[in-house]
């Protein structure tokens, strides 16, 4: 989905641009109309002045007094023209030269204005009016070249367009600033969500616009409820596990009684059943821990945790004198549940220590996320077993102690983080385990 900032900016930009275009069109129209009205008003006065210069003698012949007319009508193609018609006789200005000017005869009081093409392809605005003088009907047409007027209008439109473009740019800058400031609280909320993901805070700040405060309050309430329910669930599981382990211990004590000991088969059955139940309890407790806290964990100190974990394993496998080689990239980070990480690495390293000869290599890199690589110098795993190695209860060597749950639990942890678990042959000779977790757990 397009960001809210971009959508608002695009919407406001389009709206402002359309409004400015409409304003430009309306102003251009009204300015052109005002100029045309002023020109028609002046042309009407010219027609009335021309009417005053007309004399009709007793024979009905029409004469115009040149002394009462403007000199522009005497200059050929001056852009100012007239035509007068009365009693089927017409006279036109010298400025028309030999150009024929068509004229519709009008009754007194009638008036028509229109655009036409004049001499030398001039665009003329023509005003035609009907009069009555000395008992005779006259039609007077005044025409004027509007080229200069159109040039002035075009110049005005150009200047207004440039001014509108500057205004649009200023308005866009202002609206960008307003949108940026209006959405700034959302940036704070996003920052809080990032800190929440890293486990630095457990609630989102309610200092936000009124429109999103209800959503933040509901989210904070949900986080609080999840935290409380998760804590109660873990406590309940712990109590249940403690109670069951106590009962299992009692069952084992009963199996040690003399009357049970005499029946070796029955005693072994009880021991096997209690052992299986104990493994189920441990497995379910570990699976419950995979849920982690309802909030993402804080940043885990990888080197410190690995150092403590390897030291513990070195004591457990003291007879092997295992050498651990730890390499951690400076940019490698993990933000998640510390218990999940220790459970995952503990199972992987315990498996490596169990099968290695003397060396275990641990490499942590940052490659579009965080990547853990565990290698050992043991005998490795056959190709046909690699695809089954994470199956719950699968054991490649039944002679070695274990329940076959370790790698399956690792798979559950990796899957809960949307990660990838891979197995391959190590250059050291043993098994190579690769765990890749998404980028959101490394930033």
**Residue 258 vs residue 393, higher pLDDT:** 258
Q: Please report which confidence band the pLDDT of residue 402 belongs to, taking 50, 70 and 90 as the band edges.
A: very low
Which among 59-68, 169-178, 258-267, 427-436 has the top mean pLDDT?
A: 427-436
Q: What is the pLDDT of residue 345?
A: 92
CB hemisphere CA count around 400 (13 angstroms)? 13
Confidence of residue 298 (pLDDT cuts 50, 70, 90): low
Q: What is the model's pLDDT at position 252?
A: 80
In this predicted structure, the answer to whether residue 131 has a pLDDT above a threshold of 70 is yes
pLDDT at 370: 92
Q: Report how far Cα 264 is from the mean position of its chain's Cα atoms.
A: 71
Q: What is the pLDDT of residue 56?
A: 80
Would you say 212 and 182 are in contact if contact means Cβ atoms under 8 Å apart? no
List the single range of 173-187, 342-356, 386-400 with lowest mean pLDDT: 386-400
H or E segment at 353? helix 338-355
Least confident of 13-22, 234-243, 396-405, 429-438: 396-405
How far apart CA 179 and CA 169 sit, in angstroms, is: 15
Q: Enumerate the β-bridge partners of residue 253.
A: none
First to last CA, the chain: 23
Q: Is 35 exposed, middle or buried (0-12, 13-18, 19+ CB in 10 A)?
A: middle
Question: Which among 94-108, 114-128, 180-194, 382-396 has the top mean pLDDT?
Answer: 114-128
Our CA angle for 227, 439, 408, nearest 5°, is 70
Instruction: Give the residue carrying structure tokens 């004591």.
Output: 315
Is 401 a residue whose pLDDT tops 80?
no
* Cα separation, 286 vs 339, whole angstroms: 10
- Model pLDDT for residues 47-97, shown as the tens digit of each residue: 888 888 888 877 777 888 777 777 888 888 888 898 998 877 888 888 888
Using one digit for the tens of pLDDT, what is the confidence trace for 201-224?
777 777 777 777 788 888 888 877
Q: Model pTM greater than 0.75? A: no
Residue 403 pLDDT: 43
CATH fold of 4-150: Beta-Lactamase (3.30.450)
Query: What's the pLDDT score for residue 181?
Result: 80
What is the 3 state secondary structure string of 55-112? EECCCCCEEECHHHCCHHHCCCCCCEEEEEEECCEEEECHHHCCCCCCCCCCCCCCEE
Mean pLDDT of the region 249-257:
82
Cα 65–Cα 70–Cα 73 angle in degrees, nearest 5: 90
Mean pLDDT of 282-296: 57
What tokens appear for 425 in the block?
């042959």
Nearest to 248 by CA among 278, 268, 222: 278
What's residue 434's pLDDT? 92
Q: Which pLDDT tens digit goes with each residue over 133-156?
A: 888 889 999 999 988 888 888 898
- What pLDDT, in 10s, does the model give residues 307-340? 999 998 988 888 989 999 999 998 888 887 788 8
Q: Which residue has the tokens 């115009």?
A: 64
Question: How high is the pLDDT of residue 65?
Answer: 76
CATH 3.40.80.10 fits 302-441, yes or no: no
pLDDT tier, 128 (very low <50, low <70, confident <90, very high otherwise): very high
Give the SS3 label for residue 216: helix
Lowest mean pLDDT among 2-6, 117-121, 157-161: 2-6
Residue 398 — very low, low, confident or very high, per pLDDT cuts 50/70/90? very low
Looking at residue 386, its pLDDT comes to: 63
Is pLDDT of 11 > 50? yes
- CA nearest 436: which of 366, 346, 350, 352? 366
Look at residue 41 in the predicted model and tell me its pLDDT: 92
Phi-psi region of 44 (alpha: psi -120 to 50; beta: other; left: phi over 0): alpha
Residue 118 CB contacts under 8 Å (≥ 6 apart), including other chains: 81, 96, 99, 101, 124, 143, 145
> Rounded mean pLDDT of 182-200?
74
pLDDT > 70: what percent of the chain?
88
pLDDT of 395 > 60? The answer is: no
Q: Which residue has the higher pLDDT, 229 or 346?
A: 346
One fold for 4-150 and 302-441: no
Structure tokens at 209: 């616009």
Domain ranges of the chain: 4-150, 215-290, 302-441
Please report the pLDDT score of residue 134 as a whole number: 82
């Amino acid at each position: 989905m397009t960001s809210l900032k971009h959508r608002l900016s695009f919407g406001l930009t389009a709206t402002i641009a359309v409004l400015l275009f409409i304003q430009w069109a309306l102003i251009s129209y009204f300015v052109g109309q005002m100029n045309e009205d002023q020109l028609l008003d002046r042309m009407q006065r010219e027609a009335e002045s021309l009417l005053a210069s007309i004399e009709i003698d007793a024979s009905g012949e029409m004469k115009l007094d040149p002394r009462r007319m403007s000199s522009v009508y005497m200059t050929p193609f001056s852009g100012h023209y007239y035509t007068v018609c009365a009693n089927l006789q017409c006279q036109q200005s010298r400025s028309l030269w030999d150009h024929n000017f068509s004229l519709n005869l009008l009754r007194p009081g009638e008036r028509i204005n229109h655009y036409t093409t004049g001499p030398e392809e001039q665009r003329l605005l023509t005003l035609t009016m009907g009069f009555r003088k000395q008992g005779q009907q006259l039609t007077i047409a005044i025409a004027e070249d509007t080229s200069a007027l159109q040039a002035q209008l075009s110049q005005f439109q150009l200047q207004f367009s440039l001014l509108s473009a500057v205004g649009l740019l200023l308005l866009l800058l202002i609206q960008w600033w307003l949108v940026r400031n209006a959405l700034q609280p959302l940036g704070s909320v996003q920052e809080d969500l990032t800190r929440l993901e890293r486990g630095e805070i457990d609630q989102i700040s309610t200092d936000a616009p009124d429109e999103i405060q209800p959503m933040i309050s509901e989210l904070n309430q949900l986080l609080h409820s999840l935290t409380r329910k998760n804590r109660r669930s873990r406590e309940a599981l712990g109590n249940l596990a403690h109670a069951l382990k106590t009962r299992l211990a009692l069952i084992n004590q009963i199996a040690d009684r003399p009357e049970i000991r005499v029946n070796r088969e029955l005693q072994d059955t009880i021991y096997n059943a209690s052992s299986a139940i104990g493994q189920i309890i441990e497995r379910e407790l570990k699976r419950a821990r995979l849920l982690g806290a309802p909030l993402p964990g804080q940043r885990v100190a990888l080197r410190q945790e690995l150092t403590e974990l390897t030291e513990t394993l070195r004591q457990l496998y003291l007879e092997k004198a295992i050498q651990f080689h730890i390499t951690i990239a400076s940019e490698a980070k993990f933000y998640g549940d510390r218990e999940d990480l220790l459970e995952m690495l503990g199972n992987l390293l315990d498996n490596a220590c169990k099968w290695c000869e003397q060396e275990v290599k641990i490499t942590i890199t940052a490659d579009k996320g965080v990547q853990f690589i565990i290698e050992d110098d043991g005998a490795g795993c056959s190709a046909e077993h690699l695809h089954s190695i994470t199956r719950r209860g699968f054991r490649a060597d039944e002679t070695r102690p274990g329940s076959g749950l370790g790698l399956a639990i690792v798979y559950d942890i990796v899957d809960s983080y949307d990660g990838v678990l891979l197995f391959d042959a190590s250059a050291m000779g043993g098994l190579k385990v690769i765990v890749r977790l998404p980028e959101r757990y490394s930033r």
